[in-house]
Amino acid sequence: MHGSGWTPSIVHGEDQTVYLVLDDFGRQGRAWCETDAEATDLETIITYLLEGQYTNSVRVVGFNTAEGWARDVSVDVADELRGRCGLESAGVPAYLETFVNRHDRAPRRLV
């Protein structure tokens, strides 16, 4: 039996980086999307974004408890999504446009 302060861990392994997606559900608010512990690697998150499993993403956060860091990786993920969509010549899907534009590395000039 676990003590009263016990909480389950989504980190399985000595040195695992975990990525989570914050989605905006409109009137219901924003929430970190529930995901299988085995599906928290960066490649799976990017695949799920491209498949439309997250429909109104706000940010992606990565963390590694063994290394002691956490950071917003949204700009890097947006760059990767933009690149993959460009390679396929399909363009960024409509459900990802807001996320990709919000996290554009190069600010656009309003001239």
What are 34-81's pLDDT values in tens digits? 888 889 999 999 999 999 999 899 999 999 988 999 999 999 999 999
Q: Is residue 73 part of a domain?
A: yes
Tell me how many domains the chain contains: 1
Contact present, 106 and 79 (Cβ < 8 Å): no
Domain that residue 38 falls in: 18-102
**111 found inside a domain:** no
Bigger pLDDT: 102 vs 6: 102
Per-residue pLDDT at 60 = 97
Nearest to 64 by CA among 19, 32, 7: 19
Distance CA 9, CA 81 (A): 29
pLDDT attached to residue 104: 84
Q: Answer yes or no: is 44 within a domain.
A: yes
Structure confidence at residue 91 (pLDDT): 81
Q: Evaluate if pTM is beyond 0.75.
A: yes
79: burial class by Cβ within 10 Å (0-12, 13-18, 19+)? middle
Q: Quick one: which of 34, 1, 38 has its CA closest to 18? A: 38
13 domain residue, yes or no: no
Tokens of 16: 């695992």
Confirm whether 2 is domain-assigned: no
Asked whether residue 89 is domain-assigned, the answer is: yes
Do the domain assignments include residue 34?
Answer: yes
* For range 3-13, the mean pLDDT: 51
**Cβ atoms of 56 and 94 closer than 8 Å:** no
The C-alpha atoms of residue 2 and residue 67 are separated, in whole angstroms, by 26
**Residue 51 counted as domain residue:** yes
